[in-house]
Structure 1
Amino acid sequence: MSASTGTLTRKSIFSQAWPIIVGQASVPLVGIVDTFVIGRTGDAVALAGVALGSVVVTFIFWAFGFLRMGITGLTAQAVGAEDQGETNALLVRGVATGLCVGLILTVLQWPLAAGAFALLAGSEQLTDAAHGYVTMRFFGAPAALAGFAVLGWLFGIGRTRAALTMQLVMNIANIGLDIAFVWGLGWGAKGVAAGTAIAEWIALGTGIAIALRIGGLGAFTALRGDPQLFARAALRRLFAVNFDIMVRTLALLFLFAWFANGGARLGTIQLAANAVLNQFIAVAAYVLDGFAFTAEARVGAALARGSMREVLHAIRLTGEFSLAAGLAFAVVIFAVGSGLVALMTTNRDVQEVALTYLPFAALVPLLGVPAWLLDGVFIGATWSRAFRNAAIAATALYVVTDLALRPLGAAGLWTAMLVSYLYRAGALGIVLPARLRSIEPDP
């Protein structure tokens, strides 16, 4: 039995969530190591270059993040419907799509990067450092996007420990390669990117091997002659859901790029300080995503069975864990953030600015809980159109708020970011009751 279809209790929720939490926590750990490796050199330009380059790569790669989110929701529903053939077919469709799109991105990397940097504020020296980072990262694009699909499939079938293995392999390789390329070979920002690109290919190979072990080689071999594998109706459903998620992802990536650009507009020191603080936020967000991903699988499977009671129960239990974890992260960042800032960068100017805005970063985990959890609910239910519209509305409100608060400088920049999480939660929360009423009640 898939973990997505097991008994719904606090114990089962935590059992499913903890491998995701560990795996997700290791993702920002890589970002922390990247920041630490570059930050300990004392080169603020290189540190800011990695931050700006990461925004560009994240924006472009995560425009196709639907390969993780859409595959999770569709797979969870296939599991709930006990359709093993469609479950396996979704993995093949997702990986094939990821590899094809990734190859196209690699070919088009120069115009994409040039267009992105034309929109972002930054000095010529900063842009050069960021451009070197972006160029190296694009060589891992096919593996990164296909890896999204593998992870989404593993989350959808509830095999979170297998997903953890894949993520740990990726992140351990990334950390080791970063240290070797930056401290060992002195490649700077390019070394960080090269390590990540190679690690993405290692992770994809690991993920495919895991999927074959779970499903059995015979199950996937049988799909070769299946006319439904790439049938028009199946692909139409995949891309219909994924197009909405793609638009939603682009809206949120625009939001984060706007925030990063605001830091660049305020100078290299502010951008570097924001990069340090964003590592704390990333750890909290990725860990809390463990409960959101669990909600995706549980809500998707319950919806496929038509169980209103299970959907509500899944939301309540994952919500309890999310709120407790968000509060804990806020307290920890307030308590030990200053020491971590000093550890991550030796540049005194960057340290001073980061400590000034540390309280803003500490509030993000608590204020972000409702938005992250509702993301998981809507992804699992594949309520993609409402999901898309909510993100567009939240991003538009954020931009208006940021423009209004610009006279406050960096304080206004961070305040607008905090409020954006409330916009996201509110936009989803408004439509949630109507969506729940559309589910037929249990007999």
Structure 2
Amino acid sequence: MSRHATAMSVAPAPLTRRAIFAQAWPIMVGQATVPLVGIVDTLVVGRTGDAAALAGVALGATIINLVFWSFGFLRMGLTGLVAQADGGGARREVEALLFRGIGIGFALGLALFALHVPITALALAMMSGGTQVSGEASAYVSARFFGAPAALAVYAMTGWLLGLGRTRDALLLQIVMNLANAGFDVALVWGAGLGAGGIGAGTAGAEWLALITGLAICSRIAGVGPLALLRRTPRADLLDPEALRRLFAVNRDLMIRTIALLFAFTWLANAGARLGATTLAANHVLLQFVSVSAFVLDAFAFTAEARVGQAIGAGSRERFLRSVRLTSEFAIAGGLVLAAIYWLAGGTVINLIVTDPATASIAVAFLPFAALIPLIGAPSWMLDGVFIGATQGKALRNAAVLTTALYVALDLTLRQTGNIGVWIAFTTTYLLRAATLGAYIPGLMRSIDGKDILANSASAP
């Protein structure tokens, strides 16, 4: 395989705080718009005063997140692999990874669309939403599956852009999708009165628009159109058995990891549903605060993914350690700022979003838990970024499975305490994630020192 530089690649910037922030801020802005879409969804439905519709969107969004983000490895796996190929100067592999990711994502999305009826029925049967809430959730979920092929292909393109350090292009893609989503939601719910189904249809339409936008962005970076880029990518590189084996090995472990963590969020939603539609809706509102924290602080985790991957591709232990330290400094500081904002202004935001007094009252009462999560969640999110950049899927998989098992056990133990037990158990998951991943740090360092990190990342157990 040819290993020469390309205009597509981004030469590693100096590892300074200024350079880290310059790379992270577009991701931060783009990531901040992701939970803002959830907030807009909540606002659009919440202002109608229909608690059942709001609970239906909450339940439906949980199902879609579980199904779609089970394939989040398309983003995470591509980022680490592309960063390592870019750090090693492997232009052809960088281009081949783009097509592998898009092709796999689109095919998986088509499969989800074909199976969406039984998937939706099975998911709703496992939830405790009640007849009215389940009906609203079904309308939302069915509409969202129309966007599945586009959504999964966009995951892959986003991972490719982040792996190259093209954070401003990733920001542009995210902004286009999220602005379109907000506009479609308002038109379909307030304009056409379609309720939860309109929220789902608006998001699906935005995902198809994002796919078209992403193809245009990638073509501009490559300097040729998608078909010309495909023609110049040798089939032998595109179908390289070793490259495909590594891609599927990393993605398999990341898929298991993602499913385990999403199961924890699904368990949280179901725990709220057991306590009634009002508590479910209130917990969904609080999860928007958690989402903002995760998505904003993930800007530094994503930066760590690219920087760690490039350091490993270049074989530099020094760059690896400095990348981890600098990105973590920003993440911890950001966690402190977000926690303070939530504590001081969270109640006001809740009352602006929700008009139902009972829902707002419960959300305000449990706001301190949401305010705590940016602080205790930052280490776990940063460790995710480090291990994703190192393509250490096995460690991510094992840590997530163990964390989820411990969380479920704790939630069952605290079930009799009501919603406070639900939030204690959920908040503890962030400590568990950091502890279980932290246990793998010594092994990761030995792999880097022994220069066998690439072999370890594709190992099977």
Quote the Cα distance in structure 1 between the aligned partners of 2:265 and 2:290: 12
C-alpha contact 1:223 1:229 (8 A) present in aligned 2:
no
Q: Quick one: which amino acid aligns to residue 229 of structure 2? A: F
C-alpha contact 1:309 1:441 (8 A) present in aligned 2:
no
1:422 paired with 2:437, answer: no
Give runs of aligned pairs for residues 233-252 of structure 1, distance below 5 A: 233-252=242-261
**1:235: how far off?**
1.5
**1:228: how far off?**
1.9
1:311 paired with 2:320, answer: yes
**1:231: how far off?**
2.6
Instruction: Give the structure 2 partner of residue 228 of structure 1.
Output: 237
Quote the Cα distance in structure 1 between the aligned partners of 2:375 and 2:197: 34
Instruction: Give the structure 1 partner of residue 267 of structure 2.
Output: 258
**1:438: how far off?**
2.0
**Pair 393,374 (structure 1): closer, same or farther in 2 beyond 3 Å:** same
Q: 1:27 aligns with which of 34, 55, 64?
A: 34
What secondary structure sits across from 2:361 in the alignment? helix
Instruction: Give the structure 1 partner of residue 17 of structure 2.
Output: 10
**1:118: how far off?**
1.4
Q: Quick one: which amino acid aligns to residue 23 of structure 1? A: G
Q: 1:111 aligns with which of 118, 124, 134?
A: 118
Quote the Cα distance in structure 2 between the aligned partners of 1:351 and 1:3: 47
Q: 2:410 aligns with which of 391, 401, 408?
A: 401
C-alpha contact 1:4 1:297 (8 A) present in aligned 2:
no
1:186 paired with 2:210, answer: no
What secondary structure sits across from 2:440 in the alignment? helix
Instruction: Give the structure 1 partner of residue 277 of structure 2.
Output: 268
**1:230: how far off?**
1.9
Give runs of aligned pairs for residues 26-425 of structure 1, distance below 5 A: 26-217=33-224, 220-223=229-232, 225-425=234-434
Structure 1 residue runs of 5 or longer lacking an equivalent are: none
Counting aligned pairs with the same residue, the percent is 55
Normalising by structure 1, report the TM-score.
0.98
Quote the Cα distance in structure 2 between the aligned partners of 1:386 and 1:33: 35
**1:441: how far off?**
7.7
**1:225: how far off?**
4.2
Quote the Cα distance in structure 1 between the aligned partners of 2:450 and 2:166: 29
Deviations 1:240-277 (A, max 9, x none): 10000000000001010000100001100000001111
Quote the Cα distance in structure 1 between the aligned partners of 2:421 and 2:409: 12
C-alpha contact 1:181 1:192 (8 A) present in aligned 2:
yes
**1:299: how far off?**
0.2
Deviations 1:183-213 (A, max 9, x none): 0000000111111000000011101100010
Deviations 1:119-171 (A, max 9, x none): 11110111111000000000000000000000000000000000000000000
What secondary structure sits across from 1:167 in the alignment? helix
Quote the Cα distance in structure 1 between the aligned partners of 2:337 and 2:233: 49
Q: Number of residue pairs matched?
A: 442
C-alpha contact 1:98 1:146 (8 A) present in aligned 2:
yes
C-alpha contact 2:99 2:230 (8 A) present in aligned 1:
no
Q: Quick one: which amino acid aligns to residue 142 of structure 2? A: T
What secondary structure sits across from 1:439 in the alignment? helix
Quote the Cα distance in structure 2 between the aligned partners of 1:225 and 1:278: 45
Quote the Cα distance in structure 2 between the aligned partners of 1:5 and 1:296: 13
C-alpha contact 2:92 2:233 (8 A) present in aligned 1:
no
C-alpha contact 1:307 1:441 (8 A) present in aligned 2:
no
Q: Quick one: which amino acid aligns to residue 231 of structure 1? A: D
Quote the Cα distance in structure 1 between the aligned partners of 2:292 and 2:353: 14
Q: Quick one: which amino acid aligns to residue 126 of structure 2? A: L
**1:232: how far off?**
2.4
Q: Quick one: which amino acid aligns to residue 215 of structure 1? A: A
C-alpha contact 1:4 1:301 (8 A) present in aligned 2:
no
Quote the Cα distance in structure 2 between the aligned partners of 1:223 and 1:266: 57
Quote the Cα distance in structure 1 between the aligned partners of 2:11 and 2:207: 27
What secondary structure sits across from 1:217 in the alignment? coil
C-alpha contact 2:92 2:237 (8 A) present in aligned 1:
no
Quote the Cα distance in structure 1 between the aligned partners of 2:192 and 2:395: 48
